[in-house]
Each structure stands twice: as C-alpha cells, then as structure tokens.
Structure 1
Amino acid sequence: MKKKWSVLVIMLFVGAIVLSAAACSPAEKKQEAGSNGEIILATTTSTQDSGLLDYILPDFESQTGIAVKVVAVGTGKAIEMGKNGEADVLLVHARAQEDQFVADGYATERFDVMYNDFVVLGPKDDPAKVKTTAGNDAVKAFTAIAAVPSTFVSRDDASGTNTKELAIWKAASITPEGDWYVRTGTGMGDTLTVTNEKLGYTLADRATYSNMKETMSGLEIVCEGGALLLNPYGVMAVSPTINDQINGEGAQAFVDWIISEDTQKLIGSYKINGDQQFTPGTAK
C-alpha cells in the first residue's frame, strides 16, 4: 500500500511540474492590457484612419501588458504634445520636424518604421485634366489644378500630409488662395469626406484612402508615384527628462517592439482588399 501511495505522490508531483512548465511556455505569455501600466501614443490620423493601429496594437498590449492610449492628431500637434510632455511616444511622418525634435533634445533618437505614399485624388471627370497632363509628377498635378482653378481641399492642420502638400505648392511656385482652396483644419478621414462631397482634389495618404475608398464614390486617384510622394514614418520615445509623467520604460518598450522583426512583418502583412498598405523599414 505504501508503495502505491509513493507512486501516486510521484505522479502528482510530476504532473504539477508539467502543468507549471506549460503555464510558463512562450505561447502562453500573453498579458492583459494595462497590467503593466499605460503609454500615450501621439500619432497621425492616417495611422488611425487607415486601420493599421487596430491591426497591430493588440499584439503589443498582449506581449507587454502595457495599454496604449492613442491620440490621433496631425504630426505637428503630435510633436507639440511630445515637447509638452503630454505623450510618451510619437509615431509620425514629417521627417524634418522629427529630426528637429531629436536635435532639440526632446528624444534621443528617431527610428524608421515603415513607408507608403501619398496620392493626389480628384473627381472622376477630372476637370483639371491631371491624369492626362501630370503623369506621376505631383508638381504638374498641383499646377494644373491651380490653373483652372479647381476646388482643392487642404487639411490645413500642420500634419505630415499638410506639410507635404505645402512643399508641393512651394515646388510649383504657387501660393494657394481664394475660394477654390478649401481649408478643413481636420484629419485625413474628415478631409476626404469633404473632398468627396465637394468633388474636389486633395492630397491623401494611400492607406487612409484605401480604407475609405468604398465611401468615396466621387473620387479616384489622378496622380501617383514619384519620389516626391513617398511617405516615411518614424517613431521616437519622448525623453523622460521633460517631466515626471513620462512613461520612459513603456515608451522604449513600444519603440523596441515596433522596429522588431516580428512587428515589421506584421506591418507588412496589413492589407486592404488584398493590397499591402505599408512597407516596413526605410523609404529609399
């Protein structure tokens, strides 16, 4: 009888070890979001409106237990939040502003995350004849629009998209003004809605347009391609020296995660209607 009990005890002990090992296996290391605190991610409306964040953030939260509060604004506002210590990490797309943010000491380093491109959208009847005259040249496209002039809808919000738009107008030696130049002061999604309603032209990131395309019945791409329309995104952890509210460890965990090989593959796998929306890494 003692021998049987000894065997039973050993079996139970071994079983407990197996169950404990299984509980600690890599496949079961998912954590509840918020169990290790929260970070504030200040980012562009394009990463939100494109659907990318909804696609990738659950992976970060389950791996780290850190909840992510997303504040989707224009890049200019996101960078301002970083300077004011109102965000822990930035995911934005205006390279000159990002480099200046680092140079001014608000972050120690900027990392490439991904890129896609901007597209010029316009009404299907294309009154400015952009499709037949501009090819993939955004400067020629804007010049044709202003020559009519045709309605152009601008975000006018200091975002990365707005920064790119203004750079194209400058390259075309045009100062857009007048009733034909409509300023929304809103994010990409809302600006697309206004453009569709007015049957005007606008500059948009491809991913947001792809995500909203089914509701944009009056618009189509009239100009795309070309180096000027490349749209690179970078990530920066805000320096915890700005104030004692910055979650420096959480921000660094986010940076390490988003530039990791696994997350880069995850970003590259995001598709809308079968089309890849972002290319991980550096825009060459």
Structure 2
Amino acid sequence: MNKIAATLAGIGLLGLSSPLLAQEEAPYITLASTTSTENSGLFDAILPQFTEAAGIEVRVVAVGTGQAFELARRGDADALLVHDTSGEERFVAEGYGSERADVMYNDFVLIGPSADPADVAEADSVTDALTRIAEAEAPFASRGDDSGTHRAEQRLWEAAEITPAAPWYRELGSGMGPTLNTAAGMDAYVMSDRATWVAFANPQDLTLLFEGDERLFNQYGSVVIDAERHPHLKHELAAQWHAWLLSDEGQQAIADFSVDGQQLFFPNAD
C-alpha cells in the first residue's frame, strides 16, 4: 500500500471509529426504577426533556422496587426513583443513600372482571373490598415480586387481617403489565397503580372497580446514592437528574404527561 492509500485508509478507519468513540463518551447515568414508571410511558415523555436540558442520557433499568433497592445497594445504579417511602427512608438510614425527596404521586386502584363476583364495587373501604374477595375466594392476581405495588398490597391485606392463600390467591413474580395481562386472562382481581392501568392496552373484561381510599395513596421518591458507600458511581451526573426532577422544569414535565387526556402523575416536590 502506498503512502496516499495508507493515509486514506487511516482516515477511513478514524471516520468509522469516531462515532463509536463519541457514543461511548456521551455522559449517561443508570437509573433503577419501577415498572410502573416505564410501563405508563412517563419516561418516554420526560427523559428527552432532561437530556436536552442537561446533555445527560438516562438509561432505565425497570424492575420492582425491591429489586431496584438491591441494584443500588450493590452499586449497580447511579440513582433511584421508586415508590416505597418507608423502604427509601430505611435505605438512607442504612447509609446507602444520602438524600431522599418526594417527587410525584398518584394512587392504586382495584381492578377486576366486569361481573364483579365479589361485589368489590359495593365496598366502602379498600379493606372491605379485600375482605369481600377473600370471603368469595375469587381469583386474585398478585405481582408477588417485592415491588412497591406488592409491598403496598401486602400492607393492605395485613390491615384487613387477612392472609391470602392459594388456590384463589396467585403470586406471579411479574411486573405490573404482565400481571394485568394474567389477570385479564383468568378474570381475576388485581391491584394496580393507576398509571399502568390507564396505559394498559389489553383490558379484555377487566374494569376499574374500586378507588379513592386514602390508603391507596402512592408516593414516588428520588434517592441520591451515597458517594462514600459507592465512590465509583456517577454522582455529579446523578445529582443533576435529582435536582431536575425537583425543579420547576422537571415538575412541569411530570404534570404535563398524560394518556388519553388523563394526567397520571402529580408533582409534589417541596
């Protein structure tokens, strides 16, 4: 190969490799979050706005809240956005997080077959609704995955003084979307966050039967990972994400997100 050819070949190789290098060097954080924020479409709406404002990409690992905590404890996530306030406060108290803040909220709802064999729609409280399901031994599909939704559901069964069990109670170990699909297939009752339910595209005979009890309140929080615990993480970039969520711009982005004209998350940063 002569010198000119070698030079052109080198230029060609550089031209091919430069985009790859640029892509590898682009700043990003890994966010451990819940399936509800992913399944609802919230991230598709707000993450491009953050990236445009800060120049930082957010790569989401959408799992149950319990799994998100474990990822962060191991140092495998730069930031957390989950919905189990007591678990988040414990995470900080144990030294894994340095700061936690309320970001947004919505609520949980009880879904079931339109025939409503347990008369859940007639219940006067969420504990009454769960008692009716248990007494009728009507099929109930639980996420069973230590997610924020599953943890909230377990607290409600406990408040109703009920220990749900097979065969009518099915723990699936699935995210919210797959759990709704299973419930639709077996005409079962299920507890869902409202956002995932509204965005759910395969309801079949399922319908919303009970809502409005204050115990169905669903708070989401952003947690900053402790820099001393995991110094290898991208703390400065994650701090920008946390601050943006709490800023007027981030709170407005959350408020603006809707599905079929229905607002699914309500900002509440102090």
Aligned AA (1:90) = L
Q: Which of 189, 203, 221 is equivalent to 2:208?
A: 221
Relative to 1, partners in 2 of residues 1:249 and 1:164: Cα closer, same or farther, differing over 3 Å? same
Aligned residues with identical type, % of pairs:
42
> Is contact 1:267-1:280 (8 Å) kept?
yes
Farther-moved stretch of structure 1 (235-244 vs 39-48): 235-244
SS where residue 105 of structure 1 aligns? Answer: coil
> Is contact 2:106-2:194 (8 Å) kept?
yes
Distance of 1:193 and 1:232 partners within structure 2? 24
> Is contact 1:151-1:181 (8 Å) kept?
yes
Q: Which of 255, 259, 264 is equivalent to 1:277?
A: 264
Distance of 2:230 and 2:116 partners within structure 1? 51
Q: Which of 212, 231, 239 is equivalent to 1:252?
A: 239
> Is contact 2:101-2:269 (8 Å) kept?
no
SS where residue 99 of structure 2 aligns? Answer: coil
Q: Which of 65, 75, 82 is equivalent to 1:85?
A: 75
Aligned-pair CA distance for 1:262: 1.1
Aligned AA (2:116) = D
The runs of 5 or more residues in structure 2 that have no matched partner are 1-21
Question: Which residue in the other structure is 1:21 paired with?
Answer: none
Q: Deviations over 1:127-170 (max 9, x none)?
A: 001112x13x1111110000011000000111000000000000
The runs of 5 or more residues in structure 1 that have no matched partner are 1-31
Relative to 1, partners in 2 of residues 1:45 and 1:33: Cα closer, same or farther, differing over 3 Å? farther
SS where residue 207 of structure 1 aligns? Answer: helix
Normalising by structure 1, report the TM-score: 0.85
Aligned-pair CA distance for 1:240: 2.2
Q: 2:90 aligned with 1:100, yes or no? A: yes
Distance of 2:31 and 2:196 partners within structure 1? 19
Please report the RMSD computed on the Cα atoms of aligned residues, expressed in angstroms: 1.5
Aligned AA (1:237) = V
Aligned-pair CA distance for 1:36: 4.6
Distance of 2:257 and 2:179 partners within structure 1? 23
Aligned AA (2:160) = A
Q: Which of 102, 122, 129 is equivalent to 1:141?
A: 129
> Is contact 1:33-1:67 (8 Å) kept?
no
Question: Which residue in the other structure is 1:38 paired with?
Answer: 28
Question: Which residue in the other structure is 1:13 paired with?
Answer: none
Relative to 1, partners in 2 of residues 1:33 and 1:159: Cα closer, same or farther, differing over 3 Å? farther
Question: Which residue in the other structure is 2:161 paired with?
Answer: 173
Aligned AA (1:118) = F
Normalising by structure 2, report the TM-score: 0.89
Aligned-pair CA distance for 1:35: 5.9
Distance of 1:191 and 1:267 partners within structure 2? 25
Distance of 1:161 and 1:207 partners within structure 2? 12
SS where residue 242 of structure 2 aligns? Answer: helix
Q: How many residues align?
A: 249
Q: Which of 38, 50, 73 is equivalent to 1:60?
A: 50
Aligned-pair CA distance for 1:62: 1.6
Distance of 2:131 and 2:35 partners within structure 1? 27
Question: Which residue in the other structure is 1:230 paired with?
Answer: 217
Q: Which of 98, 103, 120 is equivalent to 1:130?
A: 120
Distance of 1:142 and 1:34 partners within structure 2? 50
Distance of 2:107 and 2:24 partners within structure 1? 34
Question: Which residue in the other structure is 2:12 paired with?
Answer: none
